[in-house]
Amino acid sequence: MAEEASSAPAPAPAGGKMTMVAGVDESEHSFYALQWALQHFFQPAQPQQYRLVVVTAKPSAASAVGLAGPGAADVLPFVEADLKRTALRVIDKARDLCAAAQVADAEFEALEGDARNVLCDAVERHHAEMLVVGSHGYGAIKRAVLGSVSDYCAHHAHCTVMIVKKPKPKH
């Protein structure tokens, strides 16, 4: 899997740069949010005032499968391998976007756990001043059933949270 972070707090960033954490998953909404942040905060001609930490959350195989029914234990290694491949694809795509935007000061983490907790923990660990996440634009019912990572982070992250919505196509 990509780089795993330890639970120890990160040292203060070198050069006095502030830290921005960007949460990504395999959705186009999260990559739109990352691209938006790169365009607005990481201009190649300008000095970069942020150090970027791109974080993706990989659910545990047990939580993805559930532990019910016979044969569940036989499936776990296959699910775990698939979840790792997905996390690596997400990190690779984020790395490519950052390279294309000429972002030199970026690190990438794929961490196991629920995205809500992983992102809020990353903000604390890196002493981030800003968290950037995408919004799927779910309505109230879908948001209540599925949960909203961006809503949770807006209420629980100890920094500024920028929720970037992908514009809907105009008809």
Distance CA 14, CA 24 (A): 25
Helix, strand or coil, per DSSP, at residue 37: helix
Q: What is the pLDDT of residue 44?
A: 83
Q: What is the pLDDT of residue 171?
A: 67
Please give the structure tokens belonging to residue 2: 């990509």
In total, how many domains does the chain have? Answer: 1
Q: What is the pLDDT of residue 48?
A: 84
**Residue 118: which CATH number?**
3.40.50.620
Q: What is the pLDDT of residue 9?
A: 44
Whether residue 29 is contained in a domain is answered as yes
Closest CA to 158 of 122, 114, 134: 122
What is the span of the domain harbouring residue 29?
A: 18-42+50-61+76-164
Q: What is the pLDDT along the chain (171 residues), one digit of tens a residue?
A: 444 444 444 444 556 789 999 999 999 999 999 999 999 999 888 888 899 999 999 988 766 656 555 666 677 788 888 989 999 999 999 999 999 999 988 999 999 999 999 999 999 999 999 999 998 766 555 555 556 899 899 999 999 999 999 888 876
Q: What is the pLDDT of residue 58?
A: 92
Whether residue 8 is contained in a domain is answered as no
Cβ-contact 90, 3 below 8 angstroms: no
Whether residue 150 is contained in a domain is answered as yes
Closest CA to 134 of 111, 167, 166, 96: 166
